[in-house]
Amino acid sequence: MPQLKASGALLTVDSPTPPPHWALLERELLRAQTVACREFFAHYFDERGYLLCVPRWGGNDGPDDAIENLAGWSILHALGASDTILQMYKKAWEGHLRQYTEARTVEVPFARDGMYYKEFPVMFDWFHHGESLTVFNLQGLSDPDDLAFQRRVKRYAGFYMDEDPQAPNYDPKHRIIRSMFNGSRGPLLRKATSLDWAGDPIEVEGRFVARHGERDYEEMLAHFKDYTDIVGDHPLNLAATTLALNAYMLTGELKYKQWLLEYVDAWVERTEANGGIIPSNIGLDGSIGGACDGKWYGGCYGWGFTTTVPQTGEPAHRNSIYRGIAGFGNALLVTGDQRYVDVWRNMLDTIAANQKEIDGQVMYPHMYGDDGWYCYRPQPYSQGALDVYYWSMERENLKRLSMNGWIGFLEGRNPDYPMKALEHDLSTIRRKIQEMRQDTTTPDTRLSDDPMPFNPAAVQTLIELMLGGLMPRHGEPLHCRVRYFDPIHRRAGIPEDVAALVEKLTDDTVTLTLVNVNQVDERTVAIQGGAYAEHQFTSAVVDGKNISIDNSSFTIRLAPGAGSSMVIRMNRYANQPTLAFPWCPAT
């Protein structure tokens, strides 16, 4: 059995094949998004990278939304789109940092000297921090050598590792982030007000269209009237571990991994102590429910967080603890230890065990309050169920998932999914650009979240089909089985003219088809195990040949018009994750 090495063109595929329709659609989707993103950027951003809007602070239309308008762009480049995508994103990132450092509140107390400080939000929750970091936290996939990116990665992680005296967010004694409101100026250690959330008074009717349906500023305040209990730790804060993960993958310094695990392990212990349910409030003394009268389910965005929609009077159930799953995924990346997945799996089972029959139908709870479980629905609570299956690859965990869509395709039950999904994304790009061209807002009547519905980046289907991966939630890293690099042009992303389709996943294999749609020129592609080389390839069957690999990457040369389906064996989570490209030495 021939032994592959880590460098050079290691295997040639020269069997010509007519380009499959999915391959042509995939290449066109990458091309079309690049063209559409250029037009979107020119429409909504100026030459400095500033968003053409009225900059405000707030949970509805704040600085997080300004850069979230480019959600998906950093992954789009890492998939193989044009370098112009990365260039536009970086201009917008730099521009929004300046724009919101200059922007100041008048009445909201903690942002009067700037909404950003040290190039980071001064003080907010990780629901919104995560949105503001949607593109930055994934920049390392394409551009880890950028010096400004490297400085920021370490600075941002330091805000949560007790390294910045102006940002005492973390209490190492109790292993807590001390407030749900935290940032570059530290934690907010009082009850939040509607003003803190909604931002300064603003003219609404006749000028702006508030995305949550508010008709005036009073309704904006009313939206947040119950968002008061933010003191103490909350599962949302687990998303902060992605900052330490990035710093660890960039530098290899153990302090980042150690802090990440210290903090996640504290939540593992709290969850076990709370009967298998992750609590939604931890007091400043480290006790479960300690800042909410002992109620483990208390707090803003907690298990019992049901508010009233001001426009309708209807209840709104806003339990957002699911964002905390990011921390468990990050711990898995750096340890390979499935016990972090088990915490969430056990919680899903524990919640489902509280089912009951209502009017002859089995119903499942989604909320917990003073009177116990409530908000019963026909389907079990399933936030994080896809992550649990994907991370564990245990067949038992498939029971929580629908066989429609991508999972059904991987299971052989939905063979038309790639074609339909790619065609849908192409039509979505067309629709969004048409709607953008019809947008009548002007910079002085535009809120920061107004352009968001027109963002033409459509990456979820490509992540699923090309990488065998999960679409990252806001601020999370990328979890995928394989990704690609162009060793000729020394950049991340699948080379021009190459298309990829992950057709099946098991615990230790991936079935992958690669096609060179160029009928004239060969293409060379490097394949890596996982987004961060966390998976180790062991062997592959390519064109009937058994090949030994024993590396986190290998390279294939595709002759003109050639394609091949291969089965690659791997050990998942066998390596420490890194941002280094395959041809670079790991840190």
Going from the N-terminus, what domains does the chain have, and what CATH number goes with each? 1-19+481-587 (2.60.40.1180)
pTM, to two decimals: 0.97
Which residues sit opposite 362 in a β-bridge? 357
Q: What is the pLDDT of residue 585?
A: 67
Q: What is the pLDDT of residue 62?
A: 94
Q: What is the pLDDT of residue 544?
A: 86
Q: What is the pLDDT of residue 7?
A: 39
208: nearest Cα among 449, 44, 43: 449
Q: What is the pLDDT of residue 555?
A: 96
Q: What is the pLDDT of residue 17?
A: 85
CA distances from 25 to 31, 422, 475, 496, 517 (A): 10, 6, 29, 14, 11
Q: What is the pLDDT of residue 5?
A: 38
- Residues 352 and 511: their CA atoms lie apart, in Å, by 34
Q: What is the pLDDT of residue 586?
A: 55
Number of residues written out for the chain: 587
440: nearest Cα among 208, 98, 119, 165: 208
Residue burial 532-566, b: 16+ Cβ < 10 Å; e: rest: bbbbbbbbbebeeeebebebbbbbbbbbebbbbeb
Q: What is the pLDDT of residue 2?
A: 37
Give the residue ranges of the chain where pLDDT is below 50: 1-9
